[in-house]
């Protein structure tokens, strides 16, 4: 069934994953017209959490702007052809200091595919997220040319942001390339910070049992202020909320449990090198891993185990109604690969306000010109 595009800020999501970027931009007032990714597992999770979304599971290198526009036109009967924003985070593993930083990594070329689609779609704004390692001089051959191409059509800004400055209880530094038709956009203002305690302390009453992935939210269980804040910013999109997922605990051997017990908060466990979280600090960057390698998961600040999927989701600023894959490894990767929703929300609000201000100004100027011409 076709819907209407009237008064909606149409946006296109590239490299969507499970939709952390999308959740933030949707909360900021954008209408996600289509989400594109080549990972069917991640897109299945996306579709579950965004039940009314249009998704396209396809290699971005084989997607054209014309194809995307056809999907949008089919979805919105009165669409005028204007795209307000294109956003996405191309794979970062080739640029990350946690990896090999190989200039020849084939995934690095996907940044160019993002830029290609931006030029084909010609949105009012485009936002690309990646790791700070992309600014390494060795990648200048990739990024300098792409920035030059964008600057032929847009005003380009570059923001170096830390998620912890935008309410995410995680030290996660990322760079955002922000292009606009109307001039450079300044970075969003910092927001109140939250700690590991704010994020997950209220989850302690929920029993963490091996292989028990779901838990019923007990009616008299009082959620913390941070959890309530997330659900206010990111209201439920129609998902059943009395059952929460991601509570399965990872089973550790007695030897490993003892090693975890012996590790002081803030220190790294000797063998695994996993960092033990501190209640009143930030979580370390949650990573996805690369290839067949799984990323290290931080240790719970009090219990001798790695954090659960639901705890990782809270530390990444996902609301409790947002569900992930049943398999722990898939779920942790989905979270680590995504843009924290609260960070995406701050970016989305800044872009929206910039566009609204300039579009309103243009309309006023046009009305003034029409008045004087007549």
Distance CA(24)–CA(308), nearest Å, equals 23
Q: Phi/psi class of residue 199: alpha, beta or left (left: φ > 0; alpha: ψ in -120 to 50)?
A: alpha
Q: Phi/psi at 121 (nearest 5 deg)?
A: -85, -25
| CB 57, CB 38: distance < 8 Å | yes
Q: Residues near 186 by Cβ (< 8 Å), separated by ≥ 6? A: 157, 350
DSSP string, 304-337: SSBPPHHHHHHHTT--TT----SSHHHHHHHHHH
Q: Which helix (H) or strand (E) holds 157?
A: strand 155-162
Token pair 């955002």 is found at 176
**Residue whose structure tokens are 């185990």:** 305
Q: Give the single-character DSSP code of 284.
A: P
- Partner residues linked to 338 by β-bridges: none
Under 8 Å between Cβ of 199 and 308: no
How far does Cα 329 stand from its chain's mean position? 18
Among candidate residues 57, 92, 283, 357, the one labeled active-site is 92
Query: Rounded to whole angstroms, what are the CA distances from 209 to 154, 310, 314, 324, 333?
Result: 52, 13, 19, 18, 21
104 touches 139 (CB < 8 A): no
Report how far residue 232's alpha carbon sits from residue 223's, in angstroms, rounded to the nearest whole number.
13
Give catalytic status of residue 92 as yes or no: yes
- Tell me the C-alpha distance between 334 and 348, whole Å: 21
Q: What are the residue numbers of the active site?
A: 92
């Amino acid at each position: 069934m076709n819907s209407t595009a009237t008064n909606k800020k149409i946006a296109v999501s590239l490299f969507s994953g499970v939709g952390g970027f999308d959740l933030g931009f949707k909360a900021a007032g954008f209408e996600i017209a289509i989400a594109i990714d080549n990972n069917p597992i991640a897109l299945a999770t996306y579709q579950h959490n965004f039940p009314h979304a249009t998704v396209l599971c396809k290699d971005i290198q084989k997607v054209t702007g014309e194809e995307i526009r056809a999907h949008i036109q089919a979805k919105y009967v009165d669409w005028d052809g204007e795209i307000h924003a294109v956003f996405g985070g191309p794979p970062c593993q080739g640029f990350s200091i946690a990896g090999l930083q190989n200039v020849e990594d084939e995934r690095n070329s996907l940044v160019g595919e993002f830029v290609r689609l931006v030029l084909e779609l010609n949105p009012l704004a485009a936002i690309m997220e990646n790791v700070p390692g992309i600014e390494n001089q060795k990648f200048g051959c990739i990024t300098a040319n792409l920035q030059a191409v964008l600057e032929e059509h847009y005003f380009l800004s570059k923001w170096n942001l830390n998620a912890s400055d935008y309410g995410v209880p995680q030290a996660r530094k990322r760079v955002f390339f922000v292009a606009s038709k109307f001039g450079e956009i300044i970075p969003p203002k910092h927001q109140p910070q939250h700690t590991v305690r704010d994020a997950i302390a209220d989850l302690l009453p929920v029993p963490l049992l091996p292989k028990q992935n779901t838990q019923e939210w007990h009616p008299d269980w009082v959620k913390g202020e941070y959890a309530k804040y997330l659900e206010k910013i990111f209201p439920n999109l129609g998902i059943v909320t009395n059952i929460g997922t991601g509570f399965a605990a990872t089973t550790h051997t007695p030897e490993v449990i003892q090693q975890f017990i012996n590790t002081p908060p803030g220190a790294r466990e000797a063998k695994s090198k996993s960092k033990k979280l501190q209640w009143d600090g930030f979580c370390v960057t949650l990573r996805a891993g690369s290839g067949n390698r799984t990323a290290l998961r931080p240790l719970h600040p009090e219990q001798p185990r790695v954090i659960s999927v639901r705890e990782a989701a809270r530390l990444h600023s996902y609301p409790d109604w947002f569900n992930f894959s049943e398999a722990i490894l898939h779920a942790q990767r989905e979270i680590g690969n995504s843009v924290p929703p609260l960070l995406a929300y701050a970016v989305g609000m800044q872009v929206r306000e910039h566009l609204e201000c300039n579009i309103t100004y243009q309309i006023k100027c046009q009305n003034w010109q029409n008045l004087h011409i007549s």
